[in-house]
Amino acid sequence: MTKKIVDLRSDTVTRPTPAMLAAMHAAPLGDDVFGDDPSVNALQQKIAALLGFEAALFVPTGTQSNLCAILAHCQRGDEYIVGQQAHCYRWEGGGAAVFGSVQPQPLNHQPDGTLALDEIEAAIKPDDAHFARTRLLALENTLGGKLLPFDYVQQATRLAKEKGLMRHLDGARLFNAAVAQAAPLRAASNDDRPVAGPPQGRPAPSGGSAAHAVASVGATSPVAGPPQGRPAPSGGSAAHAVASVGVTSPAAPSAGSGLHAVSERGGAMVEARRIAQCFDSVSVCFSKGLGAPVGSVLCGTQEFIARAHRIRKMAGGGMRQGGMLAAAALHALDHHIDRLADDHALARRLADGLAGIEGLRVEAPQTNILFVDLTGAARNQSAALLQHLAGHGIQSTGLYRLRFVTHLDVDAQGIDRAIAALRAFFKA
Ligand SMILES: Cc1ncc(COP(=O)(O)O)c(C=O)c1O
């Protein structure tokens, strides 16, 4: 019998669950270009209310959501300050510049994914005809799976406001950030299990739990390790990150099967709103960890959303019976947020299972994305490793670093198969 493929390339690969499909099938429909699709309207109202905004706009993709946001905040000749690895700078084809004549001002990330406050301040141009007008600060949370520390989010957005900039959040994975931000509370109150395993090196012989990993990673502390796409400084932070994962055996019995039952329900929504309220606009994707097939939502003031609505039209993003897709997003809002904790636990399970392999440097995951660097003699084996994994039914990407992403369609068994396949490659 062929084994099920374990697809760890991205959290975008999920298929709608039967319950989500049923919700889509039952959705009341209209024509959203006429503004009368009840399901789209319900989704827009619900997410705006949940995150504390006046209005929201349903769009087909996260890319279009960011584009509408940047173009609704900025005019031609304006610029936005953004991270080098931010999706709305690096990974969206330069859309803001191409379609809106809005220039990005990219800044390097700090190891924890943040943009240094003094560098943001220094990048803001004086009002002078030589310069583009600096209009907007765009942050991303999570960024490459990293949770931006909440005090940093507050400081950076306060600074931007003081300097007269608008603030946009690419919250494609806002709910992953929110669940991770809520996690330390949960760990303190609910996790009374003993912390198992040595702090670094080889796997512990038995015991351990994914919940332990929640505690030991410490979701609000800046986790060391290089930003996405840059090599780790030698002997530094990434090594610490490996240690801080806490090495346990891959033995969390309930990971991927209801771990979120112990999470504090509602805590994630409170955190999502706290993060969102630091910004003037927020984009959230439903087609990633939340498991919907398509769709993002942009939130902001009525006036801002009216401008974004016009841009969505120009970009061809007005969908007619979009309610079928909005129903999937509504279902995800009701059923798939708390369970993101399961995905995070599975990423930690994978990290724990890979600890101690010579030639692999594992960056402690904070949410559902795990980055792994090949080191030493293994450095150039990325293509061979990906091929080996594919041969074992494990799909992953290695565009710039090995990346494994957990999601709704991956379970503990699949993760254990990935661990076994990786260990087999390294004969570890
Ligand atoms: C952080 C982030 N923002 C935006 C997007 C764009 O989303 P979409 O693929 O729906 O255009 C992605 C896609 O992976 C993303 O990771």
Is 11 touching ligand 1 by the criterion CB < 6 Å? no
Query: What is the average per-residue pLDDT within 61-83?
Result: 98
Query: What is the average per-residue pLDDT within 382-402?
Result: 92
pLDDT band with cut points at 50, 70 and 90 for residue 1: low
**pTM listed for this prediction:** 0.83
- What pLDDT sits at residue 229? 31
For a mutational test of ligand 1's pocket, the pick from 82, 91, 168, 169, i.e. the residue with the most ligand atoms closer than 8 A to its C-beta, is 91
Average pLDDT over the chain, rounded to whole? 84
Query: What is the average per-residue pLDDT within 130-140?
Result: 98
Q: How far apart are CA 47 and CA 59, in angstroms?
A: 13
Distance 53 CA to ligand 1 centre (A): 21
Q: Does pLDDT of 377 surpass 90?
A: no
Atom of ligand 1 nearest to the CA of 140: 1
Over pLDDT 90: what percentage of the chain? 77
- What pLDDT sits at residue 399? 65
DSSP secondary structure, 133-165, as one string: EEEEEEEESSBTTBPPPHHHHHHHHHHHHHTT-
Q: How far apart are CA 161 and CA 148, in angstroms?
A: 18
- What pLDDT sits at residue 400? 64
The beta strands (E) that lie in 209-357 are given as: 281-285, 296-300
Query: What is the average per-residue pLDDT within 52-59?
Result: 98
Is 170 touching ligand 1 by the criterion CB < 6 Å? yes
- What pLDDT sits at residue 428? 85
Residue 381's CB: how many other CB atoms inside 10 A? 16
Q: Does pLDDT of 254 surpass 70?
A: no
Ordered by start, the domain boundaries in the chain are 6-12+208-260+339-426, 18-175+265-335
For the ranges 55-59, 186-190, 312-316, the lowest mean pLDDT is seen at 186-190
* CATH fold label, 6-12+208-260+339-426: Aspartate Aminotransferase, domain 1 (3.90.1150)
Beta bridge pairs of residue 109: none
pLDDT band with cut points at 50, 70 and 90 for residue 184: low
Q: Which DSSP state fits 231? A: P
DSSP secondary structure, 70-110, as one string: HHHH--TTEEEEEETT-HHHHSSTTHHHHHH--EEEEEPPP
For a mutational test of ligand 1's pocket, the pick from 168, 286, 288, i.e. the residue with the most ligand atoms closer than 8 A to its C-beta, is 288
How many whole angstroms from its chain centre is CA 121?
26
Higher pLDDT, 209 or 143: 143
Give the architecture-level CATH label for domain 18-175+265-335.
Answer: 3-Layer(aba) Sandwich (3.40)
